[in-house]
Every structure is written in structure tokens, then in C-alpha cells.
Amino acid sequence: MVLLATYWLPHGDELIDLPNDNSRTMARKISEVTSSDKSEVRVVISPHGLGLSRNIGVIMTENFNGSFSLATGNLRARYKNDRILAGKIADSSPDVVEKVTFATGSGQKSTFPVDFGSLIPLHFFKRGKVVLIGQPRFNRRSELVAFGKTLYGVLNSYRESVSLIFSADMAHTHAPDGPYGFSEQAAIYDKEVQDMFKSGFFGRSLEIPEDVVTAAKPDSFWNLLIMSGFLEAGGIRMKMDYYYVEHYFGMLFAHS
């Protein structure tokens, strides 16, 4: 089959609670795009799921189950893992990827909890099989780009249709009264990433100074590096659909 779509999707609660015009506009734009996604499998790389200190974790349990409390209610979902695809992803990059299990090897107890960074983006899609990957936060930038290139080859040659979701929020230091304080680097970082989406040149992600990343506190910089390699390998162009700052953190939605 073939890779059907690539998404850069935020995971703020506001996309479900819809407290303001910006959140409602972004949620509407996401729904308009994702409602036509017919992928049989969706691969999610989330910064809020499994985190390994030195490698990238691919979860191998049979099932996924998650719940997340929101201002307007609870978000709950269960998914089946496509363990064949998960295994192919892990085996394609053995130097940087680890297979992760939980509880039991199969059956109902072979269930890994789904984080909100996966639950919220997946909420906008029809139910189907899922593969969950934990976004790493190590600073071996070239390895993350290389993983993205390899990942493209695996997904594009898989026997079923696949979409890839980069779960990603932007800088988290836009507001003095936010939980991470204020930094002028937040606006600088978010503009730099927006410029990449507009120009299509994501190789610039390798050049963002470490002190900018540290001060801006994005949760998705490492996903940006993986996506850089992924898009380059596939010759994929992303369209930026919407961006705004929700109090202290930025959210950007884009799709291929």
C-alpha cells in the first residue's frame, strides 16, 4: 500500500473543550481535513507517552486504553495495536529504537495506557488500528533525522494504508503567568517553525540553537527533527492550516 497522509497535530485540551474562537476555528479545520482520512493504521509519535532516556520506544502491547479528564468531560478510547507494523518500525532502526512491552505479551492484560498527546489527536479520526511511538528528547539531532528517513520507507512500503501523526505543541513560555514563565525565545521559536512550514525547508531544524529550545520549552522539537528526515525521504510538502497561542503555549496544525 502507501503512506496516505502526514499530520502535525497539536494536543491542547482546548481543542476538545473549545473555550474561544481560536480553539473552535482550529478544531473545525482539523476536523475538515481528518474526516476524509481513510487510513487503515495511524502511527502517532507523542511527546507525552513513553519516554526513554537514550532511545526511541515503540510499544508492542496488543491493546491501548486511555482516559483523560477535561473541563467539559472525560475523553476515553481503546485501540488495537498493529504489532506487525510496530515490529517493522523497531527492527528498521535497531540502534536507536527499542521494543517496549507491558504486563503480558498478549490478551486483555497486554494493554498500554494511552497518553493525552495521543488521545486528543486521535479523537479527530475514525477508529482504526494504531501504533504508538514515544518521542525521545535526547540531543542526537542527526540520529532523529535519520530515523525519520527510515520511518518513511517502512510506512510507505507497508501492506496496509498508513497515516503518520506528529503530536506536537509549540513553545510553552509565551506568558509570564503560565506554568513555565515567560521567554522572548517563545515567539522566536514559533516563528522559526512557522517559516519552515511555509518554505518547506525543515533542514533548518538542525540549526536551531539549543538555548532557544531550552528557553522556549516546546514539547515537539524532537518530533520536528524526525519530521525533517521523514519529509525529505518522501519528498512531502506540508500545508500549514492554522496557528495561534493559547495563553502560554502555541499550537500549529498542518497536513500533507
Q: How confident is the model at residue 17 (pLDDT cuts 50, 70, 90)?
A: very high
Number of domains in the chain: 1
Alpha-carbon distance of 45 to 57, in angstroms, equals 10
- CATH code for the domain in which residue 183 is found: 3.40.830.10
Percentage of the chain beyond pLDDT 90 is: 96
Average pLDDT score, the chain: 97
Closest CA to 12 of 135, 171, 187, 208: 171
* Residue 67, CA distances (Å) to 31, 72, 73, 99, 201 in order: 21, 13, 10, 23, 37
Give the pLDDT confidence score for residue 69 in this predicted structure. 94
Q: What is the pLDDT of residues 53-97, one digit of tens each?
A: 999 999 999 999 999 999 999 999 999 999 999 999 999 999 999
Average pLDDT over residues 116-132: 98
- Domain range for 82: 3-255
Reduce the DSSP state of residue 197 to 3 states and report it. helix
Average pLDDT over residues 209-219: 97
For residue 165, pLDDT beyond 80: yes
Alpha-carbon distance of 114 to 126, in angstroms, equals 16
- The per-residue DSSP string of 122-188 comes to HTTS---EEEEEEPP--S-HHHHHHHHHHHHHHHHTSSS-EEEEEE----S-B-TTSTT-B-THHHH
